Amino acid sequence: MNSRLIPATLIPGDGIGPEITAATLKVLDALGAPFEWETRAAGMAAVEKHGDPIPAETLASIRRTRLALKGPLTTPVGGGYRSVNVQLRKEFQLYANVRPARTLLPGGRYDHVDIVLVRENTEGFYVGFEHYIPMGDDPQAAAVSSGIITREGCRRVAKFAFDYALKHGRRKLTIVHKANILKALTGLFLETVREVGAKYEGRIQIEDRIIDACAMQLVLDPGRFDLILTTNLFGDILSDLIAGLVGGLGLAPGANIGREAAIFEAVHGSAPDIAGQGIANPTALMLAAAMMLEHVQRDDLARRLRQAIETTLREDGVRTRDLGGTASTIEFADAVAHHLR
Ligand code: NAD
């Protein structure tokens, strides 16, 4: 084994996953990225091969490498399957979900959006504590869902977000909550993040916004936001909103960071409607790979990769169909790779 290589797990995933993964590997090869891949299955691809959407050998690989690049996974509706993505977050305590949204193409709604959203990834309403209450003849007359937020969970994601802000030159952190109504659940979040933030005083400006007002301000004036830190459900919604501000899901990468592992992915799903046609946009997964390079302290390579993607989109005008172009997935990858050789 070449000792300079970093072992990493590669999960091509479902639908367009294998196509955008192949495209991303192509540009990482051209870049000379230092990863030694262990390819493993998850999602429907794994159900077909192993009868299990998340086989033990896939978990073992991530446990060993502590680093993964993951294509989107199809979660069948019904059939007793739990979301593999949620399971991975739980298994490896991937408590911080990082989603940057930066304008790459002119001509969108806004030209200079540059926001990073950090979402608490393991708590809140996504803990899955739900049940029905029967009344009369109706066994599902009412439904109850409980959210859980712990002080420790708030502290660790807050510390992550403030440290991330310092490392990446972000000057302002906006805490997004609904502490006026969900006083205990998101009040605890607001209070704890402020406590952690006090240690960063003078280095990072802290403000807070109520989720509904924040959603409106993001649409009207996204330039006022720098780094947003919020709870699981609000983060899920706002991260798609900010992806929409910069041209949609085809351009939005995400990272799931935890103490035991870090998993990098595109924000979008497996796009079954266009799978197998070779037309998917691989940019989001390529940008996720750039975040992965930063995670392993190769900021130099991350910068080059981002630059090559930007030049391809902006100057060469090579774009996939979702962005109004005609390039296939692999043609786009070839164009990016051309700038890296
Ligand atoms: P989706 O993101 O797969 O697709 C939504 C729309 O965007 C589709 O029209 C699709 O063609 C388009 N699109 C998405 N990515 C694209 C790309 N890279 N290039 C061009 N067009 C793209 O959302 P969905 O249809 O709601 O979900 C499909 C499946 O993906 C579901 O099983 C869902 O559970 C799963 N999913 C997985 C993840 C993940 O693994 N991180 C995230 C979201 C959804």
pLDDT band at 56 (very low <50, low <70, confident <90, very high): very high
Tell me, what's the pLDDT at 15? 97
For 111-165, how does the pLDDT look when each residue is reduced to its tens digit (9 = 90+)?
889 999 999 999 999 888 899 999 999 999 999 999 999 999 999 999 999 999 9
The four Cα atoms 111, 116, 122, 128 give a dihedral, to 10 degrees, of: -20
Instruction: State whether 134 and 172 are in the same domain.
Output: yes
- Domain termination residue (choose one: 248, 274, 302): 248
Range of the domain at 86: 1-92+260-341
Distance set, CA 204 to CA 91, 175, 187, 328 (Å): 32, 12, 21, 42
Q: Looking at the 3D structure of the chain, how many domains does it have?
A: 2
CA of 190 relative to ligand 1 center, distance in Å: 32
Residue that has been written with the tokens 């890296």 in this structure: 340
Sheet order of strands, 227-230 included: 35-39, 6-11, 67-70, 262-266, 253-257, 96-102, 114-120, 227-230, 172-177, 205-210
Exposure string for 228-265, b = 16+ CB within 10 A, e = fewer: bbbbbbbbbebbbbbbbbbbbbbbbbbbbbbeebbbbb
Cβ(268) to ligand 1 under 6 A?
yes
DSSP structure class, residue 202:
T
Q: Is pLDDT at 311 greater than 70 in this prediction?
A: yes
Mean pLDDT of 256-282: 95
CA of 282 relative to ligand 1 center, distance in Å: 12
Does the residue 224 lie in any domain? yes
| Tally of residues, the chain | 341
Looking at the CA of residue 283, tell me the nearest atom of ligand 1: 18
Tell me, what's the pLDDT at 68? 98
CA of 121 relative to ligand 1 center, distance in Å: 19
CA of 323 relative to ligand 1 center, distance in Å: 15
Instruction: State whether 49 and 158 are in the same domain.
Output: no
Residue that has been written with the tokens 């294998």 in this structure: 18
Instruction: State whether 216 and 139 are in the same domain.
Output: yes
For 194-224, how does the pLDDT look when each residue is reduced to its tens digit (9 = 90+)?
999 999 999 999 999 999 999 999 999 999 9
Q: Is pLDDT at 3 greater than 70 in this prediction?
A: no
Instruction: State whether 210 and 279 are in the same domain.
Output: no
Q: Assign 108 to helix, strand or coil.
A: coil
Task: Mean pLDDT check: name the lowest of 51-55, 202-206, 305-309, 318-322.
Answer: 51-55
Instruction: State whether 131 and 232 are in the same domain.
Output: yes
Does the residue 254 lie in any domain? no
CA of 200 relative to ligand 1 center, distance in Å: 38
Does the residue 255 lie in any domain? no
Instruction: State whether 296 and 337 are in the same domain.
Output: yes
Instruction: State whether 212 and 236 are in the same domain.
Output: yes
Instruction: State whether 182 and 228 are in the same domain.
Output: yes
Q: Is pLDDT at 242 greater than 80 in this prediction?
A: yes
Cβ(269) to ligand 1 under 6 A?
yes
Tell me, what's the pLDDT at 80? 66
For 158-179, how does the pLDDT look when each residue is reduced to its tens digit (9 = 90+)?
999 999 999 999 999 999 999 9
Q: Assign 288 to helix, strand or coil.
A: helix
Stated pTM of the model:
0.93
Instruction: State whether 124 and 152 are in the same domain.
Output: yes
Instruction: State whether 65 and 174 are in the same domain.
Output: no
Catalytic center residues: 126, 178, 212, 236
Tell me, what's the pLDDT at 79? 64
Cβ(24) to ligand 1 under 6 A?
no
Cβ(124) to ligand 1 under 6 A?
no
Q: Assign 11 to helix, strand or coil.
A: strand
Tell me, what's the pLDDT at 105? 84
Mean pLDDT of 84-100: 92
Does the residue 210 lie in any domain? yes
Mean pLDDT of 260-287: 96
Instruction: State whether 57 and 155 are in the same domain.
Output: no
pLDDT band at 227 (very low <50, low <70, confident <90, very high): very high
Q: Is pLDDT at 1 greater than 50 in this prediction?
A: no
Does the residue 236 lie in any domain? yes
Looking at the CA of residue 71, tell me the nearest atom of ligand 1: 40
Tell me, what's the pLDDT at 297? 93
For 26-49, how does the pLDDT look when each residue is reduced to its tens digit (9 = 90+)?
999 999 999 999 999 999 989 888
Tell me, what's the pLDDT at 78? 64
Query: Which of the listed residues 268, 274, 283, 287 should we mutate to test ligand 1's pocket, taking the one with most ligand atoms within 8 A of CB?
Result: 268
Cβ(271) to ligand 1 under 6 A?
yes
What is the rounded average pLDDT for all residues in the chain? 94
Q: Which helix (H) or strand (E) holds 143?
A: strand 138-148
- Domain termination residue (choose one: 248, 272, 288): 248
Q: What is the CATH number of the domain that holds 329?
A: 3.40.718.10
Does the residue 74 lie in any domain? yes
Q: Which of 229, 240, 245, 230 is CA-nearest to residue 266?
A: 240
Residue that has been written with the tokens 């990493």 in this structure: 8
Does the residue 213 lie in any domain? yes
Mean pLDDT of 272-297: 97
Does the residue 117 lie in any domain? yes
- Domain termination residue (choose one: 192, 218, 248): 248
Instruction: State whether 128 and 244 are in the same domain.
Output: yes
Cβ(274) to ligand 1 under 6 A?
yes
Q: Which helix (H) or strand (E) holds 91?
A: helix 84-91
Report the nearest-CA residue for atom 10 of ligand 1: 271
